[in-house]
Amino acid sequence: MLTTPAVIATDLDFIKDVLIRDFNYFTDRGVPHNEKIDPLTGNLFALDGQKWRTLRTKLSPTFTSGRMKFMFPTVLEVADRFIETLGELLQTQKTLEVKDLLARFTTDVIGTCAFGIQCNSLKDPNAEFRMYGRKQLENPPHGPLVMALMNMFPKISDMLRLTRAHRDVTKFFMDIVRETVDFREKNNIRRNDFMDLLIQLKNHATLEGEDHESVESKIIDKLTLEELAAQAFIFFVGGFETSSSTLTLTLYELSKHQDIQDKCRAEINRVLEKYNGKLSYEAMNEMHYVEQTVLETLRKYPILPVILRQCINDYQVRGTKVVIEKGTPVQIPAYAIHHDPEIYPDPEKFDPDRFLPENVKLRHSVAFLSFGDGPRNCIGLRFGKMQSRIGLIMLLKSYRFHLSSKSPDPLVFSKKSFLLAPVGGMHLDVEKV
């Protein structure tokens, strides 16, 4: 973007205009993509214009609260295996590196929900799904300078057939999707997962609604296999890293603040007692303090620290004579907004009470941007919150976490990733409650 002026948006009213009120001027992210050369870039995060609108309309029904309830048992099953693995590790050690463990947990969750495949990375840290997911996020196919030039000159990048995904990563995910779809269709297999919903869209361009009526897309085009693979891929890559980082950072903060950890555990035990000791979708939704704790982690550590939009037509800023020209990138620094003391007093303090309903009402409606906002917010926010809460509930129900002599202080974040991810391991002392 060195050759293009950009707008840095910090005024909350203006941010609301960009994300919500005048969204039709800022529908695109300006993320380069080319489905022919690099098929996995044809995903909901990167697409723009009518292609994005059509796909968003088709995929939105897959992330309703009803669908989350449908997928809940699948996530819980993986969480049970996660707790089992944790128990086995604690037989020989009391200090655990939880960052990798949590990434393996979320890899298995997303692998199961997005692909319907048992990844087994909890048992095998070098499982293929874990290996390829890690490779794409931690070691992009090109260095930072080449990636920057690809973003600045996308047409030249396409002429040179440079890709944003490793070729072996693309082949792995395309093959997995093709094999999974073929197997399910030949054997008439239905499951409570994202892949089942994508197959419905591939074959019918509609989804069965919660009441088993069909939910029609505005433009009835079936998903191609390549489009299906691209959505499964972005759900996988976007889902496992964001949720595992959120859980890692939540455990870090709870290890520093034992009083907050105790309050979370007390709420978990109180609600579970009401449900005969069993975690259900309804029980999870009654654990309000646990949810506030996850939201406060995302406030302090927004996993996507900068939100991108691109102006698609000349736009006059409301109440001014300033015109943002077509094609201008707009960057919204979520991390800076979340650490503005005028919005969040004492911003470095970890305080879940910031997300009590009465406190949320006192703030501007776009003061919290961890999932973006408006029509182009994170489509998977319900799933991400559900996955993080299930993981946290299952962990705190059985274990207490403390800082260890190896715990990072201060936290250092990766400069390679566009996501906010701590560098190195997260070692914590763990004991049975």
CATH number at residue 95: 1.10.630.10
Percent of the chain with pLDDT over 70: 96
Q: How confident is the model at residue 205 (pLDDT cuts 50, 70, 90)?
A: low
Q: Which domain holds residue 325?
A: 1-29+305-369
> For the chain, what is the domain count?
2
3-state SS track over the chain: CCCCCCEECCCHHHHHHHHHHCHHHCCECCCCCCCCCCHHHCCCCCCCHHHHHHHHHHHHHHHCHHHHHHHHHHHHHHHHHHHHHHHHHCCCCCEEEHHHHHHHHHHHHHHHHHHCCCCCCCCCCCCHHHHHHHHHHHCCCCCHHHHHHHHHCHHHHHHCCCCCCCHHHHHHHHHHHHHHHHHHHHHCCCCCCHHHHHHHHHHHCEEECCCCCEEECCCCCCCCHHHHHHHHHHHHHHHHHHHHHHHHHHHHHHHHCHHHHHHHHHHHHHHHHHCCCCCCHHHHHCCHHHHHHHHHHHHHCCCCCEEEEECCCCEECCCCCCEECCCCEEEEEHHHHHCCCCCCCCCCCCCHHHHCHHHHHHCCCCCCCECECHHHCCCCHHHHHHHHHHHHHHHHHHEEEEECCCCCCCCCECCCCCCCCECCCCEEEEEEC
Instruction: Examine the domain organization and report whether 378 and 363 are in the same domain.
Output: no
Residue 416, pLDDT above cutoff 80 = no
Are 15 and 80 contained in the same domain? Answer: no
pLDDT of residue 422: 86
Most confident of 31-35, 87-91, 232-236: 87-91
343 and 377 both lie in a single domain:
no
Both 22 and 131 in one domain: the answer is no
Residue 389: CB atoms within 10 Å: 23
CATH of the domain at 313: 3.30.43
- Identify the domain boundary among 315, 346, 369: 369
Clarify whether residues 191 and 283 are in a common domain: yes
Q: Which of 278, 424, 303 is nearest to 371 (CA)?
A: 303
In a shared domain, residues 19 and 87: no
Residues 363 and 315 in one domain: yes
Bridge partners, 429 (sequence order): 95, 402
Among residues 345, 369, 393, the one where a domain terminates is 369
Which pTM was predicted?
0.92
Q: Residue 207 above 70 pLDDT? A: no
Co-location of 229 and 320 in the same domain: no
Same domain? For 55 and 191 the reply is yes
Distance CA 391, CA 393 (A): 6
pLDDT tens track for 318-355? 999 999 999 999 999 999 999 999 999 999 999 999 99
Q: Is 378 annotated as a binding residue?
A: yes
Check whether residue 172 and residue 299 sit in a common domain: yes
Q: What is the pLDDT of residue 288?
A: 99
Residues 323 and 406 in one domain: no
Give the Cβ contact number of residue 208 at 10 Å. Answer: 14
Are 183 and 218 members of one domain? Answer: yes
